[in-house]
Amino acid sequence: MKEYWKLWSMNKHHYLLVRLAIAILFVGFAFWLFVSRSSEFPTGLESPLGGKEQMAVPPPKLSIEIPENEDQMPLDVVVEKCDLLTGDWIPNPLGPIYTNESCSLIESHQNCMKNGRPDSGYLHWMWKPRDCKLPQFDAKKFLEMMRNKKWALIGDSISRNHVQSLLCMLSRVEQAVEVYHDEEYRSKRWYFPSYNLTVSNIWSPFLVKAAIFEDFNGVSTSEVELHLDKLDKTWTDVYQSVDYMIISTGKWFLKAAIYHENDTVVGCHICPGKNITQVGFVFAYSKALHSVMDFIAKSGHKGLIFFRTSTPDHFENGEWHSGGTCPKTTPVKEGEIEMKVIHKLLHDIELAEFEKAAEKAAKNGVNLNLLDFTNLLLVRPDGHPGPYREFHPFAKNKTAKVQNDCLHWCLPGPLDYWNNVIMEKVING
């Protein structure tokens, strides 16, 4: 019995070894078959859920390009378009980045502190967009970006006001050298030697051809002769040579004028005693601005062109020549002040003509942008020189009646924040 049990145990052991060997051979054969046919398998197999299960292989390196059409962008790419011009003025304890003492380029009529303005609270506000951040103006970065470029600010005295602000902010890095002025010192050009940057202020208050008969204080001896269909060569002759420009007009169209088209008188604005049809400034502004915008849209210009809307004034109890003043010393809240009807008419024409031109410009590859600073400045009635357009106007008589300027802007002042917005638009579009 013991011998039989021993023999059975040995046979069982051999039997298990044989089965194990057969199993190993079968697994080896299956693995060889899988490997030999793996090159024929697709890289992705349909899963029961309708997706694809990827093979465990290293992914290839991909070069990802974001499509130009926003509608085709991947869902995980966030595109933020900031409205820099909808915001609020908030307290700024640090004040402006330059002073009337650090910048020698401020024109006397806008040098409010030197002229004796007693309050300084208007200097301590900053513009803050509601939806995003507006970086501080970086003079060094701006100058580096504008190396070997040409800028031009084209328009009336508000453009001259603006160019002084820009030059003062850039003067923190390098002082501009004046290299040109016209006979009346209304058009000027400055140069930054270290950067080969040219900044020009081109006097063209109507942007169209005009014969003007008034002195520096705005007193006219005759109506302006205005050609609504002929552009002013002062700016069009240099237009193609400028890389960046800011073009504006507006207030001058409120002046008494006789209008011409095709060298024929077609009407007037404020021309009593003349046998000419009164057609009004709205007619003239629409026509002239259409001529300007059409020229830009068809120009093929390869730089960057900004059209800036006209700015509001804040005369109270009168106007420029009728005793108007602007006594406020702090900003007002949105909704506490309304745009004057005349300003709204100008603004509506500007937006309408820009809108028509922008579509045409885009088709022609012209980079035309809007700078609508109207609402930004509407709530800053405190930012004007007022009586301090002249040096210490009440030094001899504290009750003297003096000319108030509630149209232009003190420097430093609210106008400086235009440059923050412009720089951000230049960088990010």
Active site residue 301: no
Task: Compute, in degrees rounded to 10, the torsion defined by CA atoms 241, 181, 158, 226.
Answer: -80
- Can 372 be counted among the known catalytic residues? no
**CA gyration radius for the chain?**
36
Catalytic residue among 109, 157, 204, 416: 157
Task: List C-alpha distances in Å: 329 to 74, 149, 380, 386.
Answer: 50, 39, 9, 11
Q: For residues 39-64, b (16+ Cβ closer than 10 Å) or e, as one string?
A: eeeeeeeeeeeeeeeeeeeeeeeeee
For the purposes of burial, counting CB atoms within 10 Å of the CB of 331, is it exposed (0-12), middle (13-18) or buried (19 or more)? buried
Query: Long-range contacts made by residues 65-73, C-beta under 8 angstroms, separation at least 24?
Result: none
- Tell me if residue 405 is catalytic: yes
The catalytically annotated residue of 109, 260, 347, 408 is 408
Q: Which residue has the tokens 């005759």?
A: 222
Which residues are the active-site residues?
Answer: 157, 405, 408
